[in-house]
Each structure stands twice: as structure tokens, then as C-alpha cells.
């Protein structure tokens, strides 16, 4: 199993399924296309990350050893009803701007996940991506913030937690104190909807161990 992400949060979440993946981060252009909806964006980015890792594996001298490996890629975005997407803040002032915009309002957190089975000996597609068996899905959670004061925003930004988080907050850390209500999958907001992922892996592989391991609460 290969995780196309170096996020420690995703690595920790996927470990709950009894998976200790090899980590191969994907380097892609995450720019939004004109008129692209948030859901289309996050699904495409997950798919492109998985494709990038498969291409990397194809160029590896040991590609044959990775044959049939499953690549898991994910991307998480924060967005609002008007279609505005909040990525990672550029600096502390940008983080403050994002938190002001999210303050006292409801927003959405969507994670796109792509699963691809790498085939070392398959022919390439017309676009140059290795031929693979693939599936992708998106999970969305609704989050409502309390009305935040300028002092609260400044204090949270000073914690240093905002710099590498989409939407400038981490719900698993001090950012939980910003949240008034959540509707949906909590771990999806953290960065990976593992409950849904476990079920998709069962369908994708026919192996029930992923879900059974999670339910038993220990690695297989």
C-alpha cells in the first residue's frame, strides 16, 4: 500500500485500518481550473496525485516489485456556499483573513480520495498515465464556527497551528475551540474519511480485513 501524502494526520488515520503504507508524496499543480466547482476540484486533485505517484513508480528501476500495489491519494479543501475555496494560508495575515471570513458562519470541508492499483506491466494510456484499476469518491462535512473576536483569531494564529492547514485551522488541535457545530464525518475534517475509506477498500480489493481491523481496534 502506498500513501500519496506526507501528512502526519493522514498517516495516523490510515494506521487505524491496520495499514502501514510506504509514503510517496505527489507533487502536482493544485491550481483551480476556471469555473471548476469545489467538489470537482478536490476529486480531480486526488486523482492527479494518484496518477503522479503511478508515473513515479513506472520510472522506478524496481517497478516490478510494486506491481499490484494500491495507491491511496487524498486532498482536502475548505469551501463556502458561494464557491469560495480556502487553501493553506500564505502567512499569518492571510490566516487571520480566512478565519474572519469563516467566523460565525457555516462552511464545508470536502476530502477527495482516489484509489489506484498500480500495474507495472500494463500499457500506458494516451495521456501517458499507467493503465490501472481506479476508483474515486468525495466526502463532505458541514462545520459551523462560533463568532470569533479579533483577540481570539490573533491568539489562534499565534499558536502556529494555522500555517499548514486548509482554511487555516486544525479541528484535531486548538482549532476545535473555534467550532460550534459539526455535521458529518469528523475525521474527514482532519483529512481522511477513514470509515468510508475502509468500506471502499473492501469493495476495491475484496479484502474485509481493513474494516474488521478497524472494528477490532488494532493493526492486522
91 among known catalytic residues: no
Instruction: List CB contacts of 55: < 8 A, sequence separation 6 or more.
Output: 128, 129, 130
CA distances from residue 218 to 48, 120, 201, 206 in whole angstroms, order as listed:
31, 32, 17, 20
Residue 106 DSSP symbol: E
Number of Cβ within a 10 Å radius of residue 180 = 11
Which of 109, 108, 114 minimizes the C-alpha distance to 44?
Answer: 114
Catalytic member of 27, 29, 60, 75: 75
Which of 86, 134, 146 minimizes the C-alpha distance to 110?
Answer: 86
- Cβ neighbourhood burial of 145 (10 Å; 0-12, 13-18, 19+): buried
Residues tagged active-site? 75
Amino acid at each position: 500500500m502506498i500513501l500519496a501524502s506526507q501528512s502526519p494526520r493522514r498517516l495516523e488515520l490510515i494506521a487505524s485500518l491496520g495499514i502501514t503504507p510506504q509514503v510517496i508524496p505527489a507533487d502536482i499543480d493544485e491550481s483551480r481550473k476556471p469555473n471548476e466547482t469545489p467538489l470537482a476540484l478536490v476529486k480531480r486533485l486526488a486523482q492527479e496525485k494518484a496518477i503522479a505517484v503511478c508515473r513515479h513508480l513506472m520510472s522506478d528501476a524496481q517497478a516490478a516489485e510494486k506491481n499490484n500495489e494500491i495507491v491511496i491519494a487524498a486532498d482536502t479543501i475548505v469551501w463556502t456556499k458561494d464557491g469560495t475555496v480556502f487553501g493553506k494560508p500564505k502567512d499569518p495575515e492571510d490566516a487571520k483573513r480566512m478565519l474572519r471570513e469563516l467566523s460565525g458562519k457555516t462552511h464545508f470541508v470536502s476530502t477527495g480520495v482516489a484509489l489506484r492499483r498500480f500495474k507495472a506491466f500494463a500499457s500506458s494510456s494516451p495521456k501517458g498515465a499507467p493503465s490501472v484499476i481506479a476508483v474515486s469518491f468525495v466526502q463532505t462535512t458541514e462545520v459551523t464556527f462560533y463568532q470569533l473576536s479579533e483577540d481570539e483569531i490573533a491568539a489562534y494564529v499565534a499558536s502556529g497551528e494555522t500555517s499548514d492547514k486548509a482554511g487555516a485551522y486544525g479541528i484535531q488541535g486548538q482549532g476545535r475551540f473555534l467550532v460550534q457545530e459539526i455535521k458529518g464525518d469528523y475525521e474527514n475534517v482532519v483529512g481522511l474519511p477513514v470509515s468510508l475509506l475502509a468500506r471502499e477498500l473492501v469493495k476495491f480489493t475484496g479484502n474485509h480485513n481493513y474494516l474488521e481491523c478497524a472494528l477490532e481496534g488494532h493493526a492486522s
